[in-house]
Chain A
Amino acid sequence: MALGQITLLTETGAVGLADADVRGHDLWLAAAALNVATGFELKPEGLCRDDLCFPLPQGREHEFTRDGRVNVAAFWRYRGGAVTHSQAGDIWVLGEPSDEQATRIESLEAPDFTLPDASGRMHSLSDYRGRKVLLATWASW
């Protein structure tokens, strides 16, 4: 398939990427796009973000990297993250990987989020640090 424009949704937001190589359930991104979308970069020791590195499983490296590109879908599945895409392959969603979920639960830190109120003003949970917060759901339905 030719390189195309996709939208990638992660826990940190939505990003448009220009030269994605979509092959079925695999999504091959150039190093720069991978970094923009996920913060990861390809290093000799594996795929790394900050101090965290995931060595690629021996003998299976070609499933994850080829010709300077990284198969972010395969990498995410390898980390226990859900990957879902539209039929046309132009919208991809990466779920929170198992290792990140486990770290978050262990820390008991309340994950931050930013959402609008009815007037469009944005609020982050972290704006309310220093108070006790009852985070409560409701709905019109």
Chain B
Amino acid sequence: MWQRLYEELSPVGFTVIAVALDSEPGAPEPWIEQASPTYPVLIDREHSVARLYNLVNVPQAVWINEQGRIVRPPEVAGAYDTLNRLDPVTRTVPQEVTDTARATRLHYLSAIRDWVANGAASPYVLSEDQARARMQPHDAQVAEAHTTFRLGQHLMASGRDAEGRACLEEAKRLHPESWAMWRQTATKLENGIAAGPEYLARVRARALEDKPYYPPVDMPGVPE
């Protein structure tokens, strides 16, 4: 997804670090092989980066400057909420939705280019106060979801499947915002993707609760 951007900007002090939130041994490797990216692609079986950064879906991203400080906290990385506009019968979306999705992606990429060119002077770099305001400590329930999820992964890796699976279900219940926890533990289609009717139904139900699958990014000039 990021290869062309990486090739363009890596000579001027930029890198992508992609993290696969993937607990299933062997699941991400075929994707990595097929895309053969030249930027680092890491495998995070315990979803530890999701826990540390409060990431709840893919693709989300965090912008980190040369000093290792966060200049844009987690947000949707150029994706648009097309799923909620999917016609369940034809499994297609209207053309204007496809167009907005494309414009959303291009806008996000141009924002990254602006940051790489202009650093702290870029209008897409948040002030420290703005960045802090977008980061919250986990509330008690979400914190418990993360420790429970981690325990579940550890139990599964030690062959204690029944107890491990129960932990993952409990974690998912405790942290309804996390699509990563939900889809990791959901039933997968034959292609390994959790995109069955249950998933689409949940996307719709959450959207009705004003919890869109991909909330719009709060940055200047985002396409409507």
Contact = CB atoms under 8 A, between A and B. Distances in A.
Interface of A: 7, 9, 11, 14, 80-87, 91, 93-96, 98, 101-102, 105-113, 115-118, 123, 125-126, 128-141
Contact of B42 (A123, A131, A140): A123
Contacts of A113: 48-49, 52
Contacts, number: 205
A16 B31 CA distance: 34
B58 A110 contact: no
Interface of B: 1-2, 13-22, 24, 27-33, 40-44, 48-53, 55, 57-70, 77, 112, 115-116, 119, 128, 131-132, 135-138, 140, 143-144, 146-148, 150-151, 154-155, 160, 163, 167, 180, 183-184, 186, 188, 192-194
B188 to A, nearest CB: 7
B194 A94 contact: no
B184 A139 contact: yes
Nearest to A106: B132
A82 B43 contact: no
B147 A135 contact: no
Interface of B is mostly: mixed
A137 B58 contact: yes
Given A102-B137, A110-B68, A137 B21 contact: yes
A130 B69 contact: no
Given A93-B151, A106-B132, A139 B20 contact: yes
Closest 8 CB pairs of A and B: A101-B137, A115-B42, A82-B143, A84-B147, A136-B61, A93-B147, A133-B64, A140-B27
15 contacts: A82-B146, A95-B147, A108-B132, A110-B64, A128-B17, A132-B116, A133-B17, A134-B15, A134-B62, A136-B2, A136-B61, A137-B50, A137-B77, A138-B18, A140-B27
